[in-house]
Amino acid sequence: MIYITHGFFPLKANLMLKEKIRNGELTVGSWITLGNTGIAEIMANAGFDWLVVDLEHTTISLEQAGELIRTIELVGVPALVRLTSNDVNQIKRVMDAGAHGIVVPMVNTPDDAVTAVAATRYPPNGIRGVGLARAQGYGTTFKNYLEWQSDMDDGPIVVVQIEHIDAVTNLKEILDVPGVDAFIVGPYDLSCSMGIPGQFDHPEFKQTMKKIIDISNTLGAISGLHVVEPDSVKLNDAIASGHKFIAYSVDIRMLDVSARLGVNEIRKRQK
């Protein structure tokens, strides 16, 4: 296994994350929804194990995503991209921009997972078209990149999102797909698909979450959860529940919560 560079930069961070996932270690990352490289740099330097650039629910363009990926990677943190959908063309483009892997929304069947994994890799291991962009050092490190992307153990990271009740039904088969490294539960979408939107204390939702964890534990799979609010208690609850791939909050919620806490303290003193 010889991976000198990823584009112009070392692949060490990616390999370390893959090893942690493979060993079942806890990793904590976060979510970027604002297309500002300064924010990305601050969050990358905060000590997260990984960061996700979100394309699904933001106005971040592919060009902005490329700059965010570059910034995150320069700090030495693996940069993942949450796609707008399981789109092989978008996967190709974010991987060419230098993404270390992808987070794929609405993976409901094993075939969905197979498509996502295949789109990160060139033939004969996948269906991705070959180009010479930043990921391949604009052509200078293509050989190393070719070797890296074909490796099912240490190559691109593929995280599937389980956010529909159909996905729960098919969870075992989805997680058995080679190349799927971890999954993240999308609680809002999952609860909506069950007809109980946002009712996370509903007995049926709690039972479904328990089923997900039980299947994950049986398979030795890496279960993830997005703790949207910057709340350390909820983070600890997620860890205690057995999740190992946890997204802790998101840039906009951290900014909002921090700003409001400060302003509220000021208002209290003015009364």
Task: Verify cis geometry, omega within 30 degrees of 0, for the bond prior to 123.
Answer: no
According to DSSP, the β-strands at 223-227 and 79-82 are unpaired
What is the pLDDT, as a whole number, of residue 118? 98
CB-based contacts of 35: which residues, under 8 Å, 6+ apart? Answer: 58, 59, 60, 61, 64, 65, 67, 68
Residue 271 CB-density burial (10 A; 0-12 exposed, 13-18 middle, 19+ buried) = exposed
What is the pLDDT, as a whole number, of residue 153? 86
* 131 pLDDT higher than 60: yes
Tokens 């791939």, located at residue = 245
* 3 pLDDT higher than 90: no
Q: What is the mean pLDDT of residues 78-103?
A: 97
Q: What is the mean pLDDT of residues 220-231?
A: 93
What is the pLDDT, as a whole number, of residue 37? 97
Query: How many CA atoms lie less than 13 Å away from 13 in the CB half-sphere?
Result: 21
* 2 pLDDT higher than 60: no
Average pLDDT of the residues of the chain: 93
What is the pLDDT, as a whole number, of residue 175? 97
Q: What is the mean pLDDT of residues 224-232?
A: 92
Q: What is the mean pLDDT of residues 218-241?
A: 93
What is the pLDDT, as a whole number, of residue 66? 97
Q: Which pair of structure tokens corresponds to residue 62?
A: 């592919």
* 14 pLDDT higher than 90: no
Q: Which pair of structure tokens corresponds to residue 100?
A: 């270390």
Give the percent of the chain with pLDDT over 90.
Answer: 86
CB-based contacts of 163: which residues, under 8 Å, 6+ apart? Answer: 105, 106, 185, 186, 187, 188, 189, 190, 193
pLDDT tier at 249 (50, 70, 90 boundaries)? very high
Residue extents of the structural domains in the chain: 12-270
CB atoms within 10 A of CB 178: 10
Of 147, 270, 25, nearest to 50 by C-alpha is: 25
What is the pLDDT, as a whole number, of residue 5? 54
What is the pLDDT, as a whole number, of residue 6? 53
Question: Whole-structure pTM over 0.85, yes or no?
Answer: yes
Top-tier CATH class for 12-270:
alpha beta
* 18-57 tens-digit pLDDT: 999 999 999 999 999 999 999 999 999 999 999 999 999 9
Phi, psi of 54 (to 5 degrees): -95, 120
Q: At what angle do helices 110-119 and 88-96 cross, to 10 degrees?
A: 40
| CA distance to 14, 43, 73, 74, 75, per residue, from 53 (Å) | 16, 11, 12, 15, 15
What is the pLDDT, as a whole number, of residue 80? 98
Contact indicator for 60, 35 with CB cutoff of 8 Å: yes
* 108 pLDDT higher than 90: yes
Residues belonging to the active site: 57
Q: What is the mean pLDDT of residues 66-87?
A: 96
How far is residue 210's CA from residue 221's CA, in Å, rounded to a whole number?
14
pLDDT tier at 7 (50, 70, 90 boundaries)? low
pLDDT tier at 269 (50, 70, 90 boundaries)? confident
Tokens 């003193």, located at residue = 269
Of 51, 19, 48, nearest to 32 by C-alpha is: 51
Q: Which pair of structure tokens corresponds to residue 215?
A: 């299947």
pLDDT tier at 100 (50, 70, 90 boundaries)? very high
pLDDT tier at 225 (50, 70, 90 boundaries)? very high
Contact indicator for 77, 50 with CB cutoff of 8 Å: yes
Query: How many CA atoms lie less than 13 Å away from 170 in the CB half-sphere?
Result: 18
* 4 pLDDT higher than 70: no
